[in-house]
Amino acid sequence: MPELTIAVLDDYEAMSTAAADLVAEIAAANPTAAVVVPTGETPQRMFRELVRHRHAGAFDASGLRVHQLDEYLGIEPDDRRSFLGWMLRSFAEPLGIPLEHVVRLPSDGDVAAACAAYDQEIEGAGGFALAILGIGANGHLGFNEPPCDGSAPTREVALSEETLASNARYWGGREHVPRRAITIGMAPLLQARKIVLLAFGAHKRDIVRRALEGPMTPDVPASYLRLARDVTVFLDREAARGLEVGRA
């Protein structure tokens, strides 16, 4: 039976702290867990809270196996736009996670075959223990751009105009944003034993409401979170305003 918990906190800082506490608890219970880690601005405060836990001796992430959620195609790991590099700098390195525990998405050679093999390997290993996710303004999870339903596999994708515009702020303009990417698919994400979703700010209010209360539809890929086995959604009050679903 799917379980959906919505935790509404006063602000971004409180939301991030509560999410970090839950992630630390999950990691303590399974120190070698396979964890999907995003980039973007939303999880950064939570990452800093986890680092604070580590420095206080309350969190040991060194045994985790960390999977990148998505990546642009056609760029090298040392490119400033690399999501792998961003994840290493903001998450893996500050938490003392060895590089050999970081699992890159396949992006060379026959990408379609490599992605299919990736999904088979994840399924054979029992799936992800934890997937940490943000939600795009168009309802995407990772780079699972609409339309996309809950069965979509890990694959190469064309980025939507909305995503290109959103990512432009990271790299100094739309002309610097790669047009194609690779993403962990909806199917392996939804099969994770635990999903933590983070969203903050009034600009996410409409898509959060559509994902949690609107029709379950490929036009809002995040709406399929309601099929996942165990999801905790962390929101600040601005993102949660107007929601009618039950809250923690």
Q: How far is residue 182's CA from residue 107's CA, in Å, rounded to a whole number? A: 7
Query: What's the fold here for domain 3-240?
Result: Rossmann fold (3.40.50)
Please give the distance of CA 125 from its chain centroid, rounded to a whole number.
20
pLDDT at 1: 76
pLDDT at 244: 82
Q: Is 25 a catalytic residue?
A: no
Q: Which of 53, 67, 71, 138 is catalytic?
A: 138
Q: Which amino acid is at 8?
A: V
Pair type for strands 130-134 and 155-158: unpaired
pLDDT at 124: 94
Q: Is 176 a catalytic residue?
A: no
- Exposure of 79 by Cβ count < 10 A (0-12 exposed, 13-18 middle, 19+ buried)? middle
pLDDT at 246: 52
Residue listed under structure tokens 């500050």: 94
Q: Which of 49, 71, 145, 236 is catalytic?
A: 145
Q: Is 230 a catalytic residue?
A: no
Name the residue ranges covered by the structural domains of the chain. 3-240
Three-state helix/strand/coil letters over 145-200: CCCCCCCCCCEEEECCHHHHHHHHHHHCCHHHCCCEEEECCHHHHHCCCCEEEEEC
Which parts of the chain have pLDDT scores under 70? Answer: 245-248
Three-class DSSP category at 83:
helix
